[in-house]
Amino acid sequence: MQFFKSMKVQKNKSLKEFTTFKIGGRAKYFIKAKTYDEIKQGFLFAKENNLKTFILGKGSNILFDDKGYFGLVIYNNINFLRISKTNVYVGAGYSFPALGVKTANNNLSGLEFAAGVPGSVGGAIFMNASSYSQAVSDAIKSVVYLTLDGEIKILKKDDCNFEYRNSIFQKMNGAILSSVFSLKQDENAKNRQLEIFQKKIKNQPMNEKNAGCIFKNPKNTSAKILIDECSLKNYKMGGAIVSHVHPNFIINEKTATSKDVLDLMSHIKKVVKERKNINLREEVKVILP
């Protein structure tokens, strides 16, 4: 192991425990970073050792390969939160659902939909998370970003190129460090947040091992409806099964492998294409070794 100040580099770290899917092999190198400087040190370590890097949040929208990751995984644990009137300053490693609860409890509206989304703030920004007529892109004010060369940049909302399940950060190499959200005063925010959470409990397999929605919604319809209409609920491959509660979720029913999940995803895409003539696109990020 190698040490950088308060941060140690771990070898052959199991990645399963850091994902909601509970699937994946081991990272060749792994660090937990709590500050901007520690992520910067991680990038320097990767550069000096000619390693690729992957920034990991709460692991809720990713599938690691069973072979693991042959580079450096940086677990982003920048976890601060400060609320000043309607502006919310928050670290990228902060829990996104916790942010939704905290802001709603402060009568701030814009992130009520975050309830029940088991990801980090950084991951939500990266994917432009959205549901129930709300989106990260509607509430974001600015994002602090670190390049692989150690340069800190501040991107305003318009610089982020937000689209459905997309942002400029998916085309950049580096790490989201923190962000500022601009919300609105609303005394009904707490009730709205609770209503959304109750709907998700009813309509999503929240207590099962999964990675959230597997496919993006095509135009004018939803992946959930398409998969359901193709009678794929409860379809199983190995330890992976299509959820009967929400068919755009794949459940790690037992000890599913990444191959089980990928094979099931391929089968779903094939059937939907054959029966509906629609090409489903993955929302979950598949991380190759």
d(C-alpha 17, C-alpha 139), whole Å:
31
Matching residue, tokens 């850091």 = 18
Matching residue, tokens 């899917």 = 21
Angle at 137 between CA 227 and CA 72, to 5 degrees: 80
d(C-alpha 201, C-alpha 215), whole Å:
20
Query: SS3 of 191, please?
Result: helix
What b/e sequence results for 229-268 when a residue is b if at least 16 CB atoms lie within 10 Å of its CB, and e otherwise? ebebeebebbbbbbbeebbbbbbbbeebbbebbbebbeeb
- Which residue type sits at 132? Y
Query: SS3 of 46, please?
Result: helix
Q: Is residue 124 within 8 Å of 80, Cβ to Cβ?
A: no
Matching residue, tokens 């190995």 = 238
CA-wise closest residue to 47 among 161, 147, 190: 147
Helices (H), the chain: 36-48, 96-105, 121-127, 136-139, 189-203, 223-229, 258-276
Question: Which residues carry out catalysis?
Answer: 165, 213, 283
Q: How far is the CA of 168 from the CAs of 126, 177, 244, in angstroms?
A: 8, 15, 34
